[in-house]
Chain A
Amino acid sequence: MTSIEVTGVSRWYGNVVAVNDITMSIGPGVTGLLGPNGAGKTTLLHMMAGFLPPSRGEISVGGQAAWRNPDIYRTLALVPDRDSVYAFLTGEEFVLATARLHELADPQAAARVAIEMVEMTDAQDRRISTYSKGMRQRIKVAAALVHDPQIVLLDEPFNGMDPRQRLQMMDLLHAQGDAGRVIVFSSHILEEVERLSGTIQVIVGGRLAASGDFRAIRRLMTNRPHVFVVRSSDDRSLGAALIGREAVRSVELTQNGLKVLASDYGTFTRELAGLSRDHGIRLTEVLPSDESLESVFTYLLAS
């Protein structure tokens, strides 16, 4: 069975530790690498893809070492985050050139299939320089899939995609995963994984913080404590009503409205509207306070 085995892998740059002693095993299906920017997701993906040697530890991909081993690219594909393609080529030329570099028996047919898969057939004769960010992502995915790899690594594949494209890409990845391929993608946007069914590996500060089924992680995400700033026609009465609720941990009356610490993001947002209606209070503003991704992930880590 195809898999990626990461054993005690660390990677540092001088004094900076990017990846810190990570061990994981990734099998067929879709796996999301989740974590804030700078958590080490890209570094880890690059090591899996053979584009970076681990400072310590071992990585094997489909039973082979990844580093200094171009043969792994017969079964592995990487969709890099950087938006760097040969922009002077048309989409079709780019995918076809990739098919030829893989020395496929019928490069034309393979390129056609791959381009259809990402729904880029209509734009395939345009130069990549004219593509939007989302289209570039898709043509990169087409080039990566052209040789029908068993392992596909995608770095932030949903960057620059609109919700519809994101959905379509997620479906495509799931179809690939269901067909028994190992699909790994990274993301720093929590909402992106909502559509995901599969495994999630949460990476924070270079360490593997949590791993497991997407449902468990998603539940943790919606049930996390959260600070809201609420303004209404009568802050004091609303505050008094709120403090009686289970989902509210504390309420602070400030000049700029109520600062509410909710113990449960999901319940609070559902209850707030009904509560204010029952008390005849008009809500003028409900703002989730600025919440760094770091703090969300740290919370996930602690759970």
Chain B
Amino acid sequence: MSGLVNGVIMRITLRATLSRRRALLLALPAIMLIGISALLRATAATSPVWPPEILGQVGFTVVLPLTALIIGTSVLGAEIEDGSIVHLLATPVRRSTVIFSKYLVATALTIAFAAVPEYLAAAIATSPGSKLSIGLLAGAVAASFFYNALFMFFSAAFRPGRALAFGLIYVVLWEGLLSNLVPGVALLSMGHYGLAIANAIASDSALHPYLSTGTGIGMGVALAAVSIGLGINRLSGFSIKGDVV
């Protein structure tokens, strides 16, 4: 079928994701981030160091990836898990359209639940429209696109439980731990691509960007494109599991 995205799929995906109970959990990390910023702002006053440290580290290695993980694996994974994806796939809609529609919804939700709060927290910590807040917003929006591409691929390629587990291992071990200890690992870290982009605008060394802006954008776009391509391929070969003798 024609379009790159499909309105019906996007609406159903949006309703499904927001009607699930875990959607309530999505708002928690964001509220936490804004809360911490408000608290530090009230107590630590105008120290120039903590906003980029806290918002860069906590925001880009905890709030953003975890939010993207929950959303990115559920927009497709939840339907695969309960089998309702069959109703969607038993139509001539192109599989790329299915992926793009769900990818767009997942990214938009991640921006709403993680990137915008990141901006709000930075605006509270510094001032609205500050270089840091704009930089973090841009970096977080970009990282939302990168992360969701990867997690969509995970949920198209692996069983639902495993997709979440692999995502967690990637976020916690690879990004959270290794990429901050071993500089080379940052080259394959979606979070660091985001930080590199944030740093391009904020230019603040306290963000600890290990990558240049060009590397961040280039690697991020390339990995996202590969992930989406692989995800489309996996969904085209979707087979119903279970019901095995």
- Separation in Å of the B120 CB from the closest CB of chain A? 30
Contact check, B244 vs A16: say whether CB atoms are below 8 A apart: yes
Contact check, A85 vs B95: say whether CB atoms are below 8 A apart: no
Contact of A52 among B8, B19, B91, B239 (CB under 8 A): B239
Contact check, A84 vs B95: say whether CB atoms are below 8 A apart: no
Flag whether B9 is at the interface (Cβ < 8 A).
yes
- Separation in Å of the B62 CB from the closest CB of chain A? 30
A contact residues around B8 at 8 Å (CB): 97, 100-101
Within 8 A of B (CB), among A74-92: 74, 76-78, 80-82, 84-86, 88-89
Flag whether B42 is at the interface (Cβ < 8 A).
no
Asked, given contacts A16-B245, A85-B84, A86-B16, whether A101 binds B6 with beta carbons under 8 Å apart, the answer is: yes
- Separation in Å of the A56 CB from the closest CB of chain B? 15
Asked, given contacts A81-B243, A101-B9, A103-B1, whether A70 binds B91 with beta carbons under 8 Å apart, the answer is: yes
Flag whether A126 is at the interface (Cβ < 8 A).
no
Inter-chain CA distance A272–B206, complex, in Å, is 93
- Cβ-closest chain A residue relative to B19: A88
* Interface 0/1 of B216-243, CB less than 8 Å to A: 0000000000000000000011111001
- Cβ-closest chain B residue relative to A14: B244
Inter-chain CA distance A112–B83, complex, in Å, is 25
Within 8 A of A (CB), among B86-104: 86-95
How big is chain B's contact interface, by range?
20 to 34
Flag whether A219 is at the interface (Cβ < 8 A).
no
Flag whether B165 is at the interface (Cβ < 8 A).
no
What total of chain A residues lie within 8 Å of the partner, measured CB to CB? 40
Contact check, A43 vs B243: say whether CB atoms are below 8 A apart: yes
- Separation in Å of the A188 CB from the closest CB of chain B? 13
Contact check, A86 vs B12: say whether CB atoms are below 8 A apart: yes
A contact residues around B90 at 8 Å (CB): 49, 51, 73, 76-78, 144
Flag whether A18 is at the interface (Cβ < 8 A).
yes
B contact residues around A98 at 8 Å (CB): 87, 91
Contact check, A71 vs B243: say whether CB atoms are below 8 A apart: no
* Interface 0/1 of B3-45, CB less than 8 Å to A: 0001011001001100100000000000000000000000000
Inter-chain CA distance A11–B243, complex, in Å, is 13
A contact residues around B243 at 8 Å (CB): 42-43, 46, 81-82
Contact of A73 among B84, B91, B236, B238 (CB under 8 A): B91
Task: Taking A78-B90, A101-B8 as given, write out 9 further A-B residue pairs in contact, using a Cβ cutoff of 8 Å, ordered by the A residue number.
Answer: A40-B245, A43-B244, A53-B239, A70-B89, A73-B91, A84-B82, A86-B16, A86-B87, A100-B8
